């Protein structure tokens, strides 16, 4: 038989498990748990004394209970049994808590088919997994010296793979998963913690499908717990191998230092981190080295804390495969609460950035006043002056703003009104039409809604997308897509990539800037919202931005934008319905109208839980007569058929139909779970299907999994 060695190994593992429970647990360890803390900290010394004699002397129950043994082997060691605490084994210089034991058997049938230009490639695999999990904890020499926890989870995998070309391959692998932590000198002013973890996990999520990852990590953290200057320092290393819709190998090394000093009227914090991140995704390799340092101080100038001064300084450097950069920033902020309803704020900052052959210096001064009238009307007035120097070019700007916000509660509704005006005047000198660099432009990514970059005439090949920390680079056509529409660039997240729905990302790119000119931007915004009977909510916002060219060459795309946003929401707890409409008429970016409807239902009764959410939307791009329709949803159903049996169903569907792009994604997960005491059995089916209709490209993955689990005990 092809998998006879699997059966032999399974019998061996469970024979070993049974022997461990039968022999080790009753012979060396007591069966009943007590408070682990008392067992670890208080040494026991139980002599081999007749139980009846102890009962007679005390006139009641024995002083120390001795577990009744049910096996002959355990009875032979009863004298040794009485020398150990009830929840573990203890000698003079160590303590081992009674090990918890678990096991798992898993069978997986996976079928992965990919279609490109009418040709289909299929990969079918059978996989067996056998896992044993042992977990314990204790101390060495003395609890004050070292405490530890250990988890060992050896796993053996056997795989048979069949390819559509008729090829076949057998393979086996051994994964010694483990988890280890140790704490030295916990009660001392200096404490050291070390850890090591190796873990394999399988995940399935809506709009992401099935993925597997193996994480290896280890590191240490030290603490200097001095009252004047408590300090923590550490090092960590991790490697993550991910398999699923795409394969990825990530390596992360990090050093960190943090320190705090707290006085009666001030608090100072210092943090410093250095990280080295390497990523290999589908043979696309990149590396980022980051060094971040931040110093912050909060000082109470007055005893009543009405006047405070916040000071901060940061120095950051980054080395990557595409560009090296460094940034230094200094900022002072003074907050002054004159009265309970009147407060002013003043700030000054200076920053310098160098990225490749591009450098900039920026100095900013801010002042603002906030006033609250009758707890209903809030007024904000402020001004700003800034100067930016780019090599031999300079940009000077001045701005003023005035905002009002009014909130009035009634018995049947709450009314909110807001309005604001912002005026920005900018003078530019020495600027010529040339390539410029944009760093850390933030955007929130969504699968159904595209985002447009802030500038035009962008070099599309220069676009780099990272996480907000800049330590992880995302891959085009795996994590996101990029399209050029007229002179603008739009981006959209892909469902099976590493960017999660709604995640904020940082975008870096180069673009051709306009020649020097002086201009004034005037922004006005108005809006209102009101709630009816705590169920209905209506809101409307209007934004108008106009640009006046005072001198110099008129830029290619003037700013003349008008934006209308309307939202209606009806929420009665078990049902939440929303309608939204947005009309963007722009010259500085792409113009479009977008309408969307969302509905969320959730219902639970006794042993049944059901939730369903769906959305339907349409985006019309006015500049190039393009329409993009999208709809989809997620459904979850849980039913506790019996106290020992649970049914879980989950499915999702998403479709986008545009003039230049059409995709369809759907998935299903169904599972049955049976429990009997410490035993669990699971049967599940997972389907993930992604279809790029325009390019005749499709990928479908199916997975059947059977699991038998013995819980930790």
DSSP sequence for 433-474:
S-EEEEEEEEEE--SSS-EE-SSSSB-GGG-EEE-TTS--B-
Cβ(184)–Cβ(222) below 8 Å: no
CA gap 669, 590 in Å, rounded: 39
So what's the pLDDT on residue 484? 81
3-state secondary structure 16-54: HHHHHHHHHHHHHCCCCCCCHHHHHHCCCCCCCCCHHHH
The alpha carbon of residue 223 and the mean position of all alpha carbons in its chain are separated, in whole angstroms, by: 27
Residue 13 lies in a domain: yes
Instruction: Tell whether 337 is covered by a domain.
Output: no
How far apart (Å, rounded) are the C-alpha atoms in residues 494 and 207? 9
pLDDT of residue 658: 81
For position 204, what pLDDT does the model report?
63
The partner residues of 88 in beta bridges, in order of sequence, read 97
For residue 130, being part of any structural domain is answered with yes
Residue 521 maps to a domain: no
Domain residues for the domain of 167 are: 1-188
How many Cβ atoms sit within 10 Å of the Cβ of residue 286?
17
In a domain, 472, yes or no: no
Q: How many domains does the chain have?
A: 1
Q: Is residue 336 in a domain?
A: no
Q: How many CB atoms lie within 10 A of CB 429?
A: 12
Looking at residue 390, what is its pLDDT?
80
- pLDDT at position 74: 39
Taking CA 44 as the corner, what is the angle to CA 42 and CA 49, rounded to the nearest 5 degrees?
A: 160
* CA distance linking residue 651 with residue 204, whole number of Å: 11
What is the predicted pLDDT for the residue at 434? 65
- What is the mean pLDDT of each successive set of 10 residues along the chain, which is 713 residues long? 41 44 38 36 34 36 37 38 66 91 92 82 89 93 93 90 78 87 94 92 64 87 93 95 77 96 94 93 86 96 94 93 88 96 96 85 96 93 93 87 94 93 91 72 80 84 86 83 81 80 87 84 96 92 95 83 96 94 86 93 92 93 84 94 94 86 88 93 92 81 92 79
Which of the 8 DSSP states describes residue 79? H
Tell me if 133 sits within 8 A of 151, measured CB to CB: yes
Domain-embedded: residue 352 = no
pLDDT at residue 56, rounded to an integer: 38
pLDDT of residue 289: 93
Is residue 91, in this structure, part of any structural domain at all?
yes
Report pTM: 0.74
């Amino acid at each position: 038989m092809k998998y006879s060695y699997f059966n032999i190994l399974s019998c061996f593992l469970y024979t070993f498990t049974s022997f461990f429970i039968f022999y080790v647990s009753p012979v060396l360890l007591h069966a009943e748990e007590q408070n682990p803390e008392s067992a670890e900290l208080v040494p026991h010394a139980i002599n081999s004394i007749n139980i009846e004699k102890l009962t007679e002397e005390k006139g009641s129950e024995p002083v120390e209970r001795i577990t009744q043994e049910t096996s002959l082997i355990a009875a032979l060691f009863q004298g040794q049994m009485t020398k150990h605490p009830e929840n573990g084994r203890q000698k003079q210089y160590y303590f081992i808590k009674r090990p918890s034991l678990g096991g798992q058997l898993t069978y997986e049938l996976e079928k992965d088919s990919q279609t490109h230009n009418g040709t289909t490639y299929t990969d079918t695999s059978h996989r067996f997994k056998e896992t044993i999990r042992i977990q314990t904890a204790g101390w060495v020499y003395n609890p004050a010296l070292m405490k530890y926890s250990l988890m060992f989870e050896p796993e053996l995998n056997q795989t048979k793979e069949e390819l559509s070309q008729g090829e076949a391959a057998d393979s086996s692998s051994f994964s010694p998963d483990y988890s280890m932590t140790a704490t030295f000198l916990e009660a001392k002013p200096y404490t050291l913690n070390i850890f090591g973890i190796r873990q394999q996990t399988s995940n399935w999520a809506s709009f992401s499908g099935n993925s597997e990852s193996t994480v290896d990590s280890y590191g240490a953290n030290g603490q200097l717990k001095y009252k004047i200057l408590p300090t923590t320092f550490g090092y960590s290393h991790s490697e993550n191998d991910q398999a699923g819709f795409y394969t990825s190998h990530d390596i992360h090394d990090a050093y960190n230092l943090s320190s705090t000093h707290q006085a009666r009227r001030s608090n100072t914090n210092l943090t410093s981190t250095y990280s080295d991140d390497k990523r290999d995704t589908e043979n696309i390799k990149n590396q980022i080295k980051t060094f971040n340092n931040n110093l912050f101080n909060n000082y109470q100038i007055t005893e009543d804390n009405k006047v405070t001064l916040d000071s901060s300084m940061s120095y950051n450097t980054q080395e990557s495969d595409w560009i090296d950069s460094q940034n230094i920033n200094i900022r002072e902020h003074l907050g002054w609460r004159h009265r309970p309803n009147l407060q002013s704020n003043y700030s000054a900052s200076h920053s310098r950035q160098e990225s490749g052959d591009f450098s900039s210096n920026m100095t900013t001064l801010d002042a603002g006043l906030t006033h609250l009238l009758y707890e209903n009307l809030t007024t904000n007035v402020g001004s700003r002056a800034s100067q930016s120097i780019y090599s031999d070019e300079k940009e000077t700007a001045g701005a003023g703003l005035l905002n009002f916000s009014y909130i009035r509660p009634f018995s049947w509704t709450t009314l909110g009104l807001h309005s604001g005006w912002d005026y920005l005047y900018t003078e530019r000198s020495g600027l010529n039409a040339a390539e410029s660099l944009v760093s850390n432009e933030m955007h929130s990514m969504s699968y159904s809604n595209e985002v447009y970059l802030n500038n035009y005439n962008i070099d599309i090949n220069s676009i780099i997308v990272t996480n907000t920390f800049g330590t992880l680079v995302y891959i085009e056509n795996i994590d996101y897509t990029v399209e050029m529409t007229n002179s603008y660039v739009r981006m959209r997240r892909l469902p099976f990539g590493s960017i999660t729905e709604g995640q904020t990302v940082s975008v870096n790119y180069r673009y051709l800037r306009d020649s020097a000119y002086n201009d004034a931007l005037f922004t006005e915004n108005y809006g209102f919202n009101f709630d009816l009977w705590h169920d209905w909510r209506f809101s409307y916002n209007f934004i108008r931005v106009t640009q006046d060219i005072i001198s110099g060459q008129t830029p290619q795309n003037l700013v003349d934008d008008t934006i209308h946003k309307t939202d209606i929401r009806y929420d009665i707890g078990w049902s939440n319905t929303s309608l939204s409409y947005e009309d963007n008429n722009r010259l500085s970016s792409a113009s479009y109208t977008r309408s969307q409807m969302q509905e969320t239902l959730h219902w639970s009764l006794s042993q049944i839980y059901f939730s369903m959410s769906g959305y339907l939307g349409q985006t019309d791009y006015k500049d190039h007569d393009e329409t993009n329709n999208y709809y989809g949803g997620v459904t979850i159903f849980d039913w506790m058929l019996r106290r020992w049996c649970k049914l879980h169903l989950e499915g999702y569907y998403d479709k986008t139909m545009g003039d230049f792009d059409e995709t369809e994604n759907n998935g299903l997960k169904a599972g049955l779970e049976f429990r009997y005491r410490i035993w669990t059995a699971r049967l599940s089916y997972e389907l993930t299907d992604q279809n790029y209709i325009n390019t005749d490209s499709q990928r479908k993955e199916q997975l059947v999994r059977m699991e038998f689990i013995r819980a930790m005990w």
